[in-house]
Copies of this chain bind each other. A is one copy, B any other.
Amino acid sequence: MAKRESNVDRVYEALRRMAADFAFKPDQRINESALSEVLGASRTPLREALNRLVAEGFLTFQNNRGFFCRPLTPSYIMDLYEARVAVECEATRLACTRASDEDIAALADYLNRMEPEYQSATDPEALLAMDESFHARLAQLSGNSELQRILNNLNGRIRYIRLIDLKRMRDRAGGKAPGDISAHRQIVEGIAARNAEAATAAMRSHIEKRREEATEAVRIAFSQLYVPDE
């Protein structure tokens, strides 16, 4: 029986999830021995996975002091959102000239099929998964795998904040999550019309609007990570 997935892969996936969810608190030092026991692997594969995550920006590393969780500051989150604008606007622009009519129609169709679920969803996790899925699909239309790769990385590091943000909005709106699908639709319409200026402008304002909210979300996330801790 062939073993398909290596230990390092398994450990890496687990760690990425933990890091994305801030299972490690910002700037917290990571104890390799303890973690290797939890994950059921020795320190060798664990460190290999940790090194990947350092290169991806999920963790940091200091010589002879080991691995640390990435910090969580407003400016750090700001940087990630701005990088998303860069990547996604260019992906949108490329999609305008490069995506086939069929692929654009498929994305519009995806949006339509998702709309009922999106409007009625109250679970922030589900909502975020749908939103990320839309943006990832759009990036696919660019045909550029680097942009897709970078976006995936940025989203992983932003995800926790977005989740906090969505929860905040849900609580404000009384259990109702914000089904803001209109912005997505506007972007797709711009692409369908092959109107790069309109499409990128829509994308830019969409992400920047989210970014505004994120600053407040960072403050909340900060308090959630440091204060309560059951």
Contact = CB atoms under 8 A, between A and B. Distances in A.
Interface stretch (A81-89, A102-110, A171-179, A222-230): A81-89
A139 to B, nearest CB: 11
A48 interface: yes
Interface in A84-100: 85-87, 89-91, 94
Query: What is the total number of copies of this protein in its complex?
Result: 2
Given A52-B51, A57-B149, A150-B150, A79 B5 contact: no
Contact of A9 (B4, B63, B145): B63
Contacts of A94: 82
A144 B211 CA distance: 14
Top-9 shortest CB links A-B: A86-B90, A55-B55, A79-B146, A52-B55, A83-B146, A51-B51, A48-B51, A79-B144, A86-B86
Interface of A: 3-6, 8-9, 44, 47-49, 51-57, 63-64, 78-80, 82-83, 85-87, 89-91, 94, 142, 144-147, 149-150, 154
